[in-house]
With several copies, the nearest count.
Chain A
Amino acid sequence: MPLLLTMQRIDKRFAGVPALRSASLEVEHGEVHALIGQNGAGKSTMIKILTGYYAKDAGEIVFDGKPVEFSSPQDAQKSGISTIYQEINLVPYRSVTENICLGRERRRFGLLNWPAMHAEAEELLARFNIRIDVRQPLMTYPTAVQQMVAIARAIGFDAKLVIMDEPTSSLDDKEVEVLFGVIRQLKAAGVSIIFVSHKLDELYAVCDRVTIMRDGRTIRVSRMDDISKLDLVTAMLGRELSRVLHEDGDSQRASGPRDPLLTVEHLAVGRKVHDVTFDVREGEIVGLAGLLGSGRTESARVVFGADRPEGGKIQFHNVPKPAAEPAEAILAGMGFLSEDRKLEGIIPDMSVRENLTLAIMPQLAKNGVVDEARSREIVDRFIERLGIRCASPEQRIRELSGGNQQKVLLARWLCMNPRLLILDEPTRGIDVGAKAEILSLVRELAGQGLGVLIISSELEEVVEAASRIFVLRDGNTVAQLSGDAVNEQDVMAAMAHGHNELRETVHD
């Protein structure tokens, strides 16, 4: 079968730092091709070079039989390459329709044909089982929905090749299912897909072949069913995962009840959170599960003082009132890792070091003057500990790969050694190795008395990490699971059919 795309001996340096070292990638007609690698391996860069977002330093690209050198993404788009970038790139103020039709507006007599465009938007979203008012500004919808819009937009162009750079990082399992359905349709229609993801199960679910990258090189290409998960991970990390995982997994699950740290009762926020109740004890990892829009993030934001509660009771460490501002919460010993890295996480123009120490600056300061030496020493420690890939601590964080940015943000909270750490989608866009490291790190810290509230769209992750799980549904806590009830089936069941009065489920 002739190849749709071949990229060969691609080199790319950023200000002298190599990001790609003679990397290669081959995609067949009508296949779903997985592109995987550690954070910073060069996946996104590879894609951006293909679509003409960056210019390559060396190497050649052949697409659809012709050697190509795209000057810009729209150039690539014209030739039939449609891309979903890792960072959602849409226009928040404009309506969903406009975002979907951006760049290929429907016209009648040279004028915009709104009815047709709305219809198209609704029809495209329908393929993802999403029914929303497409006339509303995009920013009024959750990250997850925005991600779906981005995907709908990309497949809206009838392309020969659709590139998805970590499309599922902000989707929950249900939506991932839907997405796979669409991917299979596309494949059946002869469209090829490049699929970047750090979730291995997904790869096995939809991908035909896989290209594995490490440190800017292409390490291995294989058919999906010829390679075991273990080999995959080993090739990707260049070492065995098991050596990364400390076997302290259940240490804290065993141990008995501790003093309450955070208790949230009958919380109500806006129109999305009606009656949410949960609590976290010292040294305990508690999970918040729920479908997207179930109110997890907004509940968390209120606990952290980022939003105002409208009802209910929040008690953190014997302080019976909620924090008024994040600053207050931080002083009280809370950390909050936002789910939206770009919008609420990084400060792009600041260095890795400044970003990492942002939350502890006051502590780092002697009467208002930052103690650079100490900050350097701390930063070096965390770069080492989390294996953050950066040219130097002084490199601008915007130049880091998505996953490495996420690690820096996590470090921002770990370095203040908090009492309670709220993690909203903590492993979003992080490779399996790092994910395992981070989760075990969290467990380790919990072992030392840190309370953790973890929100994740990956059930498996919550279940693995948490000793208790609260299930949210339409802004209500519908179930609390603990003990052996902490397993994917029960959580799924609760998420789907959970009744609206709080139900304790404990098997023993």
Chain B
Amino acid sequence: MTESVTTLPPTRSTSGFDIKSFLTRHGAWVALALLILFNLAFTPNFATWQTLNVNLTQVCAIVIVGVGMTLVIATGGIDLSVGSLMAIAGSLAPLIFLGKLFPLPHPAVGIALAFVVPVLVAGAFGWFNGWLITRLRIQPIIATLVLFIAGRGIAQVMTNGNLQVFKVPEFQYIGLGRLFGIPFQAVLMVVIVVAAGWMLRRTVFGRQILAVGGNERAARLAGIPVVSVKRKVYWISGLLSGIAGLIVIARNSAADANLVGLGMELDAIAAVAVGGTLLTGGRATVVGTLVGALIIQLVRYTLLANGVPDAAALVAKAGIIVLAVWLQRQNQS
């Protein structure tokens, strides 16, 4: 019997260390490092606290939304509605703390509700995405396209198209405040990334997400509650979009239903892809998404700061995305 013991090496296991396989495995990190080096060398006063803050604050929204997107994509789905959900949350918050929705017993109450309610509402819309996908069995890209289109409409209806202006330091702390000199939103971002990454790796829910994305039928046969897993994931994506929406309006001391979160879905997807998550589902890395977002942000900053004309900047940005993704793909074929 002993001779029939099967001890196969995996067909596609990693074959020793060489520079290429290293590159491909850590493509994103390498790209990031190169970018930073480039900036240190060429961008005027890059190595300043101020620069770091500017980039951190500008990348936050993408990362926070990107985390939700990562989870959605890990289940083999996609969420185009994130930008619109940001707009909804962003338009709702001022209505609340400016007391336009209902009279406030005390301003503090308004602030508190302005943090909670919009995020929950965005979450509810996210859950609705999940419902369309699981209950009506509509493909994610279309199901979320629905709120991508309708979301802004809803936000505009709520504010009947007007911009809302405000100056409420307590609320705007989420976008302007600092913790030990670090922008609060950056802290929030890091917390969310760590939490999500940990959840994906260590908890049953995390495994279930990946199983659903890896082979939905198998997952169902294995007794995994596919439906509820999916709904939860879109719900989370909604919640995170809501938070991102609040950050953006707090930063601008203004909410504009037309502009909040515009084009965010593609930035987020790009970040996820550049980060090395498989867009077909089943494999995901939250930290990768963070890195991906940083790359995209840094590219944008570099080109701006070095006065590269916009048109060219767009091309360059695209180039870098394709490079990073290509590095990733090498070891996935």
Contacts and interface: CB of A to CB of B under 8 A. Distances in A.
A449 interface: no
B11 A16 contact: yes
Interface stretch (B177-185, B210-218, B305-313): B210-218
A350 B212 CA distance: 11
Contacts of A17: 8-9, 11, 14
A112 B207 contact: yes
A359 B11 contact: no
B14 to A, nearest CB: 3
B7 interface: yes
B283 interface: yes
Interface stretch (A387-395, A461-469, A481-489): A387-395
26 contacts: A78-B223, A90-B218, A91-B214, A98-B207, A102-B218, A103-B223, A105-B207, A111-B202, A130-B6, A130-B7, A139-B12, A140-B11, A142-B8, A142-B11, A148-B6, A271-B9, A272-B11, A327-B223, A343-B218, A349-B278, A350-B210, A358-B219, A387-B4, A392-B8, A394-B10, A395-B10
A414 B8 CA distance: 25
A330 interface: yes
Contacts of B208: 361
A14 B204 contact: no
CB-CB nearest 4 A-B residue pairs: A74-B223, A16-B14, A140-B10, A91-B214
Contact of A392 (B10, B206, B224, B282): B10
A131 B7 CA distance: 5
A176 to B, nearest CB: 11
Given A73-B220, A361-B208, 9 more contacts: A91-B215, A92-B215, A111-B202, A145-B8, A272-B11, A293-B6, A369-B204, A389-B5, A391-B10
A257 interface: no
A354 interface: yes
Given A89-B218, A383-B5, A136 B13 contact: yes
B15 A16 contact: yes
A325 B225 contact: yes
B204 A326 contact: no
Contacts of A131: 5-7
Given A129-B1, A130-B5, A14 B11 contact: yes
Contact of A129 (B5, B205, B210, B214): B5
Interface size for chain B: under 10, 10 to 19, 20 to 34, or 35 or more residues? 35 or more
A94 B6 CA distance: 20
B221 A136 contact: no
A350 B4 contact: no
A53 B221 CA distance: 9
A90 B214 CA distance: 9
A12 to B, nearest CB: 14
Contact of B282 (A18, A73, A350): A350
A331 B208 CA distance: 16
A129 B11 contact: no
Given A129-B1, A349-B282, A89 B10 contact: no
B222 interface: yes
Contacts of A130: 5-7
Given A91-B215, A91-B219, A345-B218, A361 B6 contact: no
Given A93-B283, A326-B220, A389-B4, A347 B11 contact: no
Interface in B269-294: 278, 282-283
A188 interface: no
Given A330-B223, A368-B203, A399 B11 contact: yes
B137 to A, nearest CB: 16
Interface in B184-243: 202-208, 210-211, 214-215, 217-225
B3 interface: yes
Interface string A288-309: 0001110000000000101000
B221 A346 contact: no
A145 B6 contact: yes
Contacts of A15: 11-12, 14-15
A93 B8 CA distance: 18
A89 B215 contact: yes
B221 A89 contact: yes
A221 B12 CA distance: 34
Interface string A323-342: 00111011100001010000
B5 A392 contact: no
A320 interface: no
B217 to A, nearest CB: 5
A336 B221 contact: yes
Contacts of A14: 11
Nearest to B201: A112
A2 interface: no
Interface string A116-143: 0000000000000111110011011110
B4 A38 contact: yes
B255 to A, nearest CB: 36
A102 B219 contact: yes
Contacts of B206: 112
A239 interface: yes
A85 B220 CA distance: 13
Contacts of B15: 15-16, 271
A175 interface: yes
Contacts of A358: 207, 211, 219, 222, 224
B288 to A, nearest CB: 15
Interface in A352-394: 354, 358-359, 361-362, 364-365, 368-370, 383-384, 387-392, 394
Contacts of B218: 89-91, 102, 338, 343-347
A418 to B, nearest CB: 11
A2 B224 CA distance: 33
Residue with the greatest number of chain A CB neighbours at <10 A, chosen from B1, B11, B210, B225: B11
Contacts of B7: 130-132
A220 interface: no
Contact of B6 (A72, A110, A368, A389): A389
Contacts of A142: 8, 11
B223 A112 contact: no
Given A129-B5, A350-B210, A365 B204 contact: yes
Contact of B214 (A78, A140, A350, A433): A350
A344 B217 contact: yes
A180 B219 CA distance: 27
A24 B218 CA distance: 27
B205 A293 contact: no
